[in-house]
Amino acid sequence: MLILSSLAGGDKHGYALVKDVEEFAGLHIAPGTLYEALARLERQGLIEALKSDDRRRPYRLTAAGATVLSEHLSTQ
């Protein structure tokens, strides 16, 4: 949910996701953990990788991801 919450604020690449989560949740996500989670979320159709001209690959929240995040937040 932390990654989905971060992407709800706009498209971000891995490093920006780590920094954003650190800022709003106070948690550090290790790179291996982050990229494993990104791959799983992408397989589930909750996020999508965007094309990039450099090494950084930005990710975007999909409509399905926004729905899952909204449902999660409404139950909290």
58 contacts 50 by C-beta, under 8 angstroms: yes
Task: For residue 27, give the 3-state DSSP assignment.
Answer: coil
Say if pTM beats, i.e. exceeds, 0.85: yes
pLDDT tens string 29-75: 999 999 999 999 999 999 999 998 888 899 999 999 999 999 999 99
Section 8-37 average pLDDT = 95
Instruction: Classify each residue of 17-37 as buried b or exposed e, where b means 16 or more C-beta atoms within 10 Å of its C-beta.
Output: bbebbeeeeeeebeeeebeeb
Q: Which helix (H) or strand (E) holds 56?
A: none
Q: 26: pLDDT confidence band, cut at 50, 70 and 90?
A: very high
Amino acid 32 reads: G
